[in-house]
Chains A and B, each alone.
Chain A
Amino acid sequence: MSQGNAAAEPAEAARKSGGNLERALRQGHFAVTAELGPPRGWDAAFVRKKAQILKGWVDAANVTDNQAAVVHMSSIATGLLMIEEGLEPIIQMTCRDRNRLAMQSDLLGAAAHGVHNLLCLSGDHQSKGDHPGAKNVHDIDSIQLVAMVRAMRDENHYQNGRDIPGGGPRLFIGAAANPFADPAGMRPYRLRKKAQAGADFIQTQLVYDVPRFREFMKKVVDLGAHERVAILAGVGPLKSPGMARHLRLNVPGMAVPESLDARLEAAVKGIAGDDKTARSTAWREEGKRICVELIQEIREIEGVAGVHIMAIEWEEAVPEIVKAAGLRSGTQG
């Protein structure tokens, strides 16, 4: 959508959601989103503080839904606190924890409170989280969730086909894509399938391997999927060489070139091994620099409409990265 093919801005009534993210993309801005991880307890001040860090620097921020299958404050409740702070939330919703009844009622409630964006996810498996004995739901899958919410919004009916009194919730619908997961051959088609189901935007898994991402995007562009859906590439600052290794070795579907470990190692040359604070600072500075360079490279790839900056439990890094990458702070800025 930022590729110069955005149509003239439609009348307010034609908007899907009325939110910032949709407006930024419609206006052809290179969109910037970030991530706000809810607390593991019920500390509202924690959320407000993070929201203030991100406010003004991003078009909207994702709120994770029991990320890593670990119990956190509800994504919708966290999103409401963000709205109070003036930061537009993208509510993440997994198919792991709710059936179609719970999903629809939660979305009606979220919309009533002014939520404009939803990201539809399968969800990390509960065996990886803090309640491995939980029963999972998976009543519908992420693509079916996209299609259900699109029909609620555009056709004003529930998943069962019956009318929603007063019309469906006005949500801008997102989905995820992992360019580095297998089977590689199916990935571009799966992204297109999400677009066909009704996704308005896609946020990708963290991109560290730009050549592989470029190859993926070429296929997506060849399929024409980028014309139906705005694709935001996932990026994130590395905190240490250990984090790079952990992502590469322990997180399925992640591609992190070993050259990045070497670059981070080089950043602490000359710093005493026992000066942990100085080493950590040097790594983080280099991590941010790498992230900025990645954004600049990714920005040039055809079909990329924005970036999604995932600085996990390091929201402070986002404003610096946005500024250093020369990105607009979007419509909230």
Chain B
Amino acid sequence: MIVAEKKPLDAIARMLDGCGRVLAVGCGTCVTVCFSGGGKEVATLAASLRMKRRMEEGKPLEVTEAMVQRQCEWEYLEPLAEQIKEYDAVLSLGCGVGVQTLAERFPATRILPALDTLFMGLPSAQGVWEERCQGCGACVLDKTGGICPVSRCAKQLFNGPCGGSQNGRCEVDAALPCAWHMIWERAEALGMTESLMAIEAPKDWATSRDGGPRRMVRDDLRLPAEQGQEGGE
């Protein structure tokens, strides 16, 4: 899932300076599951913003609460189309994709982010989420026992651990496990350490963000009129 966390209340309130009517929109997918942008969080944030405005400026802030199932697809935003014109701004409790999908669908409205989008990851314990994927565009998990050196090694090493790995912990933060320690132990358990002896060549980062903003085209899924119009594979 995409993991995000709420921005500090002061920062959100500052974005809303000068706004009288705000639509706060949650998202029913990833950010609901990580307790940052679901219906409950929308209600709590709306109440906090109203109270803050009243206490600090002595005047009301109107915050309407709304939820969509998926902020990251235009069609799910259609139910907002009519009411959105009535607001000075839309406060999105979606991830960065949700904020931008709203901004693209409603170009005449100010769309503001209430969350900081952190990473693609999983809940590793009650109340703890950890990164697992950076979307590098060329998965190497077959070579590393299902443990990602791109997202989980602080130095993105491909040929083994740096000198700062101790007791299975990363030199950056003792709360972080060393990815290469885990990769090695997993290879030992699977009897596959020999596979880690080969020298892994430099990665082609062109498939990652380094190649510029990315897009995927599936010609087989395109509308007949649009098929073959661009270089999908």
Chain A residues in the interface with B (C-beta under 8 A): 95-96, 100, 122-125, 127-128, 136, 138-144, 147-148, 159, 176-178, 181-183, 185-186, 189-190, 192-193, 196-197, 205, 252-253
Contacts and interface: CB of A to CB of B under 8 A. Distances in A.
B6 interface: no
Contacts of B167: 182
Contacts of B197: 189, 192-193
B171 to A, nearest CB: 4
22 contacts: A100-B202, A124-B171, A128-B172, A136-B155, A141-B156, A141-B159, A142-B157, A143-B200, A144-B201, A147-B199, A147-B201, A148-B202, A182-B168, A183-B178, A183-B184, A185-B193, A186-B160, A186-B180, A190-B159, A196-B199, A252-B163, A253-B165
Interface residues of B, number: 34
B164 A181 contact: yes
Given A141-B157, A143-B160, 10 more contacts: A125-B172, A128-B171, A142-B162, A143-B158, A144-B199, A147-B201, A182-B165, A183-B184, A192-B197, A193-B160
A176 B200 contact: no
A182 B156 contact: no
A138 B171 contact: no
B184 A185 contact: yes
A185 B165 contact: no
Contacts of B70: none
Contacts, number: 111
A190 B161 CA distance: 8
Q: Which 10 A-B pairs have the closest CB atoms?
A: A178-B163, A143-B159, A138-B156, A252-B166, A122-B162, A252-B171, A183-B184, A252-B164, A190-B160, A141-B157
A196 B156 CA distance: 21
Given A123-B155, A125-B155, A182-B178, A144 B164 contact: no
Contacts of B155: 95-96, 122-123, 125, 136, 138, 141
B104 interface: no
A121 to B, nearest CB: 9
A247 B203 CA distance: 34
A301 B167 CA distance: 26
Contacts of A127: 154, 172-173
B205 interface: yes
Interface in B166-198: 166-169, 171-173, 178, 180-181, 184-185, 188, 193, 196-197
Nearest to A205: B163
Contacts of A148: 202
Nearest to A189: B197
B159 A253 contact: no
A234 B171 CA distance: 20
A148 B201 CA distance: 9
A95 B156 CA distance: 10
B148 to A, nearest CB: 14
Nearest to A136: B155
A125 B154 contact: yes
B202 A139 contact: yes
Contacts of B199: 143-144, 147, 193, 196-197
Interface string B61-79: 0000000000000000000
Nearest to B201: A144
Contacts of A176: 163
Contacts of A186: 160-161, 180, 184, 193, 196
**Interface-central residue, B163, B172, B178, by most chain A CB under 10 Å:** B163
B161 A144 contact: no
B159 A252 contact: no
A185 B188 contact: yes
Contact of A159 (B159, B163, B165, B202): B202
A125 B171 contact: yes
Interface string B134-169: 000000000000000000001111111111111111
A138 B149 CA distance: 12
B18 to A, nearest CB: 30
A138 B159 CA distance: 12
A139 B165 contact: no
B145 to A, nearest CB: 13
B161 A183 contact: yes
Contact of B161 (A128, A182, A192, A196): A182
B191 to A, nearest CB: 13
Contact of A144 (B163, B165, B202): B202
A139 B157 CA distance: 9
Contacts of B180: 183, 186
Contacts of A205: 163
Contacts of B201: 144, 147
